[in-house]
Amino acid sequence: MYKITPALLFLFFGISFGQHIGPGECNLQPDNKAWIWDFKEANTKESKIELITNKIINYTDYFYENPPLENLDDRSTFGEIPCTPKCAIRFVLIYGKNKGLVLNLHKNPELEDLVNEFNADNIDKIELNEHNKRDIYGHASRKRSGVVLHTDNKFLKKQIKRALKTMAKS
């Protein structure tokens, strides 16, 4: 009995005061929620496009300043959950039937000029898929939101082709 009591106390206090290692939120999640709220509150297409371009550029700056960890299972890091590009809102530009482009300036910095060209005249439609209400990205990214931009603008399509050529060369 005397050997079981300390073991039970150790187990009880270990569970009660142990560190929580379950799923949580990285630093980007509160910012993403605030941005989505601002996006929903925006009334004009111009303000939505401005929010989108600023967010795409901010993600690039964030991931240059805070590169994601190579090994996410490394328990030596203490504190906040590290953010990865999978935590970020995904921005996609649809420019034709079955033609689309993921707007990730961290992976493709060549797209920065293209992103800066967005305005209310060359973006036809904007869709917000909050936390994959319509699961368009597959099973792996259920906690990820997405913004889909649609365009049929000829000038912007030329810019896209130019950007794709420079991406293919590099």
pLDDT at 88 (0 to 100): 82
Contact indicator for 91, 147 with CB cutoff of 8 Å: yes
- Position 140 scores a pLDDT of 44
* pLDDT for residue 67: 67
Measure CA 145 to chain center.
Answer: 7
pTM here is 0.73
Question: HSE (CB half, 13 Å, CA atoms) of 106?
Answer: 19
Helix %, strand %, coil % of the chain (to 5): 45, 15, 40
pLDDT on residue 10? 57
pLDDT at 47: 95
Amino acid 69: pLDDT: 60
Question: What burial letters (b/e) apply to 38-53, b meaning 16+ CB within 10 Å?
Answer: ebeeeeeeeebbebbb
Helix (H) or strand (E) holding 53: helix 45-65
pLDDT for the residue numbered 37: 94
Mean pLDDT split into 10-residue runs, the chain, 170 residues: 59 51 65 91 94 90 69 52 74 91 88 92 91 49 76 92 86
Q: What is the DSSP letter of 15?
A: H
Q: Which helix (H) or strand (E) holds 91?
A: strand 90-96
